Amino acid sequence: MVTSHRRFTGVFKRSNGSARLIITTIMGMVFGYFIGISFPSVSLTKISLPSSIMSSLDVAFGDDHQRPSGRSFPENLGSIPLTPKIYVPTNPRGAESLPPGIVVAESDFYLRRLWGEPSEDLMKKPKYLVTFTVGLAQKNNIDACVKKFSEDFQILLFHYDGRTSEWDQFEWSKRAVHISIRKQTKWWYAKRFLHPDVVAAYDYIFIWDEDLGVEHFNGDKYIQLVKKHGLEISQPGLEPNNGLTWQMTKRRGDREVHKDTEEKPGWCSDPRLPPCAAFVEIMAPVFSREAWRCVWHMIQNDLVHGWGLDFALRRCVEPAHEKIGVVDSQWIVHQVIPSLGSQGNTENGKAPWQGVRERCRNEWTMFQDRLANADKAYYSQNGKTRG
């Protein structure tokens, strides 16, 4: 009897334990069900993440300080709508599915902070962009050039020798933008980094060489004259005794600006065409925002020296003989330092500069051929004849 009683008691206890487990499981399921169906009504905006998680996020962002207590996600996170069906064909290509109010099609080179309100990042917005393609050997010359431009000018340096940190010895260099790719020309840089939508914030874009003497130049006065005379494409006049190739770019001492010249007999088929008018050289051109948008599209992606481009700039303004000119009273000296030639390679027994110069000439011919063929194809496709 005692043994039977003990066995009955053990069975009862095991049965009782199993019943409690089953009841607990059922209650948990019911409780979880009610929690689950009520969860959608809980606004995510009311959830404050535990401080330990927020601290982890701070570490992920490299922040050594705790976020303010009670900080939560943005207020509208809990009510994200379904993706709307939008198609705006007038938006920029690729952005047709976005509402126009969120589209930002243009950019700039303004430097931004990592903290604070975006609207307070800039004390002053530069209105003009000045670019130089440089090597460290010309740092003192570039320093002199940069000092001729006020705070209204954003400075951008393209480094063809890969050396950038050494420029920090100049205070202005810390506010400049530096882009470094070895052994490239300024037109290679311009095609890749000066897209019209990227430089749209600037009224004028300077695309200058590194070997220019600027003792008689002032950036603000230059802009004043460009605006006064309605120049869309311009350059400073060149000192007659240094590195002068064309009469058109020769400085005249009796005027502010000139827009035409007389060249050698037979050089100009029309007095309104290059090189007698509608012409500046590629060493120190200055473009208006509108003119640059056209010129950028004309720059060939694989032709990096820009030879021949100066004869075609007239296609981007109308009338070209009135809107392209040389500013005489703000003039520069072409120092003719062949620094880029040393960036070439010795091939077939030729010095590096010889190979570079040979490609320059070849590119001029290639550009002329491409332009002529493009003209011919256009007139052929449209059933027109050239005027």
Domain borders along the chain are 128-338
Among the listed residues 295, 296, 289, the one whose alpha carbon sits nearest the alpha carbon of residue 315: 295
Q: How confident is the model at residue 244 (pLDDT cuts 50, 70, 90)?
A: confident
Q: What is the mean pLDDT of residues 153-160?
A: 98
Q: What is the pLDDT of residue 44?
A: 39
Q: How confident is the model at residue 383 (pLDDT cuts 50, 70, 90)?
A: confident
Any idea which of 29-38, 55-64, 84-93, 361-370 has the lowest mean pLDDT? 55-64
Question: Which CATH architecture is the domain 128-338 placed in?
Answer: Alpha-Beta Complex (3.90)
From CA 193, how far away is CA 373, in angstroms rounded?
27
The most confident of 12-21, 28-37, 371-380, by mean pLDDT: 371-380
Q: Counting Cβ atoms within 10 Å, is residue 297 exposed (0-12), middle (13-18) or buried (19+)?
A: exposed
Q: What is the pLDDT of residue 9?
A: 44
Q: How confident is the model at residue 83 (pLDDT cuts 50, 70, 90)?
A: confident
Whether 242 contacts 333, CB under 8 Å: yes
How many degrees, rounded to 5, is the angle at CA 119 between CA 114 and CA 125? 95
